[in-house]
Structure 1
Amino acid sequence: MASTEVDHFAGSQHEVDTAEVPSAAWGRSRIDHRTWHIVGLCIFGFLLAMLRGNHVGHVEDWFLITFAAVVLFVLARDLWGRRRGWIR
């Protein structure tokens, strides 16, 4: 009968082979979470900046506010989770 054990990788899970990805030697294979947080804040600001416009109805305002709140929630959850050690 086949074993149901999971084979563990001997090296670190976050290391990338430089033969497969040459830019890994310069550290460009990791995700920079600080950059994504800044991008998320820029998107949040852009969504709120679009509230000032030439639209007549307020349906667009509610959509923009809702999407901005979702972006802010995802950013806050990610920041809080990383500080607590829940997300790596």
Structure 2
Amino acid sequence: MAGNAPVTAPDQHKPTNRKWLRIGAVVSAAIIVLMAAFGNHEGRVENYVSYVIAGLMVLAVVVDAAMHRAGLRD
């Protein structure tokens, strides 16, 4: 039945909702920070790694928004 499937280009598909991706990234970063701040672990290294990961997630959202606003990303 593969012969009956329509052939479409990637630009014909429904685009991803950028707003929900940004919200998901920020919420995930907030959850990571909360887990690092109130987790039941002994060492501090886990906290630092968690804060760096959350910061990189937020930085990615900010860079994506800036590039989108500047017209460098569609």
TM-score (normalizing by structure 1): 0.67
Question: 4+ residue runs of structure 1 moved beyond 6 angstroms?
Answer: none
CA-based RMSD of the aligned residues comes to 1.3
Greater gyration radius:
1
Q: Which runs of 5+ in 1 are unaligned?
A: 1-12, 17-28
What percentage of residue pairs aligned between the two structures are identical? 19
Q: Which has the higher helix share?
A: 2
Q: Say whether 1:15 aligns with 2:12.
A: yes
Q: How many residues align?
A: 64
**Structure with greater contact order relative to length (CA < 8 Å, sep ≥ 6):** 2
1:1-52 deviation digits (Å, cap 9, x = unpaired): xxxxxxxxxxxx7324xxxxxxxxxxxx211100100001111111111111
TM-score (normalizing by structure 2): 0.79
